Amino acid sequence: MNIIDVIDKKRNKETLTREELEFAFNGYLNKEVQDYQMSSLLMAITINGMTDQEVFDLVDIYIKSGEVLDLSSIPGVKVDKHSTGGVGDKTTLVVVPIVASLGLIVPKMSGRGLGLTGGTIDKLESIPGFRVEATKEQILKELNDIGMIICSQTESLVPLDKIVYSLRDVSGTVESIPLIAASVMSKKIASGADKILIDIKCGNGALMKDEKSARELRDLLIRIGNNYNKEVRCLISDMNTPLGVCVGNALEVAEAAELLDGKVKNNLYDLCVDIASNMVSMGKDISIIDAREQVLDAINSKKALEKFNQFVEYQGGSLEDMRISDNKLEVKSPKSGVITGINALKVSVVSNALGSGKAYIDDNIDYSVGVFLNKQIGERVKEGDTLCTIYYNKEENDYGILDAYTIEEK
Ligand code: URA
């Protein structure tokens, strides 16, 4: 077999066999296929798509490139979640403790920031002392002890996705539905959960820019789940506006804790309740209405907050020592009117420029910077009111954040 023939075949819109996919992808893992050859194949896939059978084969090849976590020694139903990535998306930090506080087991392996979207692991690293790495034995022990874990993926979990993802990130092939589906589902299946909730973000701050592609991805994720006898539910959620009021690592951790303390009621709260209710409904095999009642009780009784604190402490973190920059710049409204838009993509560009994400692989993240949105969509503002507060370290600069706002004089 020859890699050029495999690339040609996909470029000519033909279907690849399992053997051809194995040859190309395992060859890439073993360094027999070069970066430029794999990026060419990925681009052909991005342009011409894949059949379901090709995607199923790719998921299987991905999974078999590493180890599958065996959770059978832990009693109880295991429920997992995944988000395709958004701006201000700290739902994992909220939802996992809620679901675990209701007696389900949540083994959550998360990633770092990618492109303009933040990653849960980076957010957790803003808590001094917090350990994001865990061995297989430590994962099982923590699940046994407290029913949840949020850690970074173990080295042995789907190593093929790790290298293919890095290449996609720099070759214009991130936004391919079959490649996203294979990447997400291989990791979820290898992480060993019985039931999986996927939050598909849709909008200018997300990989899926429109509803049609989001629905296409949803249907494919569910078909892959069925192929592995796993129950998969998907939500499609808005990512035109940042989730919640904080964007930036430590700020987002603080917002998650405040939500669990009952102090936040906004788009983030609504989405967290939806995600958690679906996970509980699947995990306990109960209606979404009953599940929602349990979720609200877990928040209102502070059971979920206790679980969050227990989890942070278990992984060595100290919330009291977490730092948000003392340097603040308040950005004022240039006119009076009603806020009708806060562009998620633009806010994330500002947050990254402040240092909360990486522009280059070797950059250091500044956990203490970010943006706090003082005013929300739908709010009436007067000229001179504070729209948002920028927490900075490097230099006092608003990085043009006013461009993110649409204010209509109604
Ligand atoms: N999240 C993933 O894990 N993989 C993708 O390809 C996109 C989002």
State the average pLDDT over residues 6-13.
Answer: 98
Contact call for residues 243 and 88 (beta carbons, < 8 A):
yes
Q: What is the pLDDT of residue 174?
A: 87
Min mean pLDDT across 1-15, 85-99, 294-308, 347-361 is at 347-361
pTM for this entry: 0.93
Select 3-49's CATH number: 3.40.50.300, 1.20.970.10, 3.10.129.10, 2.40.30.10.
1.20.970.10
Nearest alpha carbon to residue 143 among 314, 317, 301, 319: 314
For residue 142, CA distances in Å to 48, 71, 105, 313, 315 come to: 43, 12, 10, 12, 9
Tens of pLDDT, residue by residue over 60-79, are 999 999 999 999 999 999 99
Q: Pick the residue whose CA is nearest to atom 1 on ligand 1.
A: 84
Q: State yes or no: pLDDT of 360 exceeds 80.
A: no
Distance (Å) from CA 398 to ligand 1 centroid:
30
156 is catalytic: no
State the average pLDDT over residues 353-369.
Answer: 83
State the average pLDDT over residues 192-218.
Answer: 94
Distance (Å) from CA 180 to ligand 1 centroid:
5
169 is catalytic: no
Distance (Å) from CA 32 to ligand 1 centroid:
25
Distance in angstroms (rounded) separating the CA atoms of residues 211 and 205 = 13
10, 90, 187, 218: which one is catalytic? 187
Q: What is the pLDDT of residue 163?
A: 92
Q: Pick the residue whose CA is nearest to atom 2 on ligand 1.
A: 184
Q: State yes or no: pLDDT of 393 exceeds 80.
A: yes
State the average pLDDT over residues 157-183.
Answer: 91
Ligand 1 atom nearest residue 179's Cα = 6
Q: Pick the residue whose CA is nearest to atom 5 on ligand 1.
A: 180
Distance in angstroms (rounded) separating the CA atoms of residues 323 and 110 = 22
Q: What is the pLDDT of residue 114?
A: 64
Distance (Å) from CA 147 to ligand 1 centroid:
25
57, 60, 161, 199: which one is catalytic? 161
Distance (Å) from CA 402 to ligand 1 centroid:
30
- Could you state, in order of their start, the residue ranges of all structural domains in the chain? 3-49, 79-320, 324-408
Ligand 1 atom nearest residue 84's Cα = 8
78, 81, 168, 218: which one is catalytic? 168
82 is catalytic: yes
Q: What is the pLDDT of residue 119?
A: 87
Q: What is the pLDDT of residue 233?
A: 97
The answer regarding whether domain 324-408 maps to CATH 3.90.1170.30 reads yes
CA angle 143, 147, 153 (to 5 degrees): 50
Q: What is the pLDDT of residue 116?
A: 65
Distance in angstroms (rounded) separating the CA atoms of residues 406 and 144 = 49
Q: What is the pLDDT of residue 357?
A: 83
Query: What is the torsion angle, in degrees rounded to the nearest 10, for the CA atoms of residue 142, residue 144, residue 148 and residue 154?
Result: 50
Residues of the chain with pLDDT > 70: what percent? Answer: 98
10, 81, 82, 233: which one is catalytic? 82
Residue 156, both tokens: 């042995």
State the average pLDDT over residues 304-328.
Answer: 98
Mean pLDDT of the chain, nearest integer: 95
Distance (Å) from CA 379 to ligand 1 centroid:
34
223 is catalytic: no
Q: Pick the residue whose CA is nearest to atom 3 on ligand 1.
A: 184
Ligand 1 atom nearest residue 174's Cα = 6
Exposure class string for 358-367: b at 16+ Cβ within 10 A, else e: beeeeeebbb
Tens of pLDDT, residue by residue over 186-196, are 999 999 999 99
Which residue from 89, 92, 207, 213 has its CB within 8 A of the most atoms of ligand 1, so it is best to mutate? 207
Torsion sign (Cα): 166, 167, 171, 177: negative
Confidence of residue 205 (pLDDT cuts 50, 70, 90): confident
Binding pocket residue ranges, ligand 1, CB within 6 Å: 84-85, 179-180, 183-184, 207
Q: State yes or no: pLDDT of 230 exceeds 80.
A: yes
65, 83, 183, 333: which one is catalytic? 183
Q: What is the pLDDT of residue 363?
A: 74
Distance (Å) from CA 5 to ligand 1 centroid:
28
Ligand 1 atom nearest residue 83's Cα = 1
Q: Pick the residue whose CA is nearest to atom 6 on ligand 1.
A: 180
State the average pLDDT over residues 255-275.
Answer: 95
Q: State yes or no: pLDDT of 199 exceeds 90.
A: yes
- Residue type (1 letter), 381: V
The answer regarding whether domain 79-320 maps to CATH 3.40.1030.10 reads yes
403 is catalytic: no
Q: State yes or no: pLDDT of 164 exceeds 90.
A: yes
Distance (Å) from CA 64 to ligand 1 centroid:
18
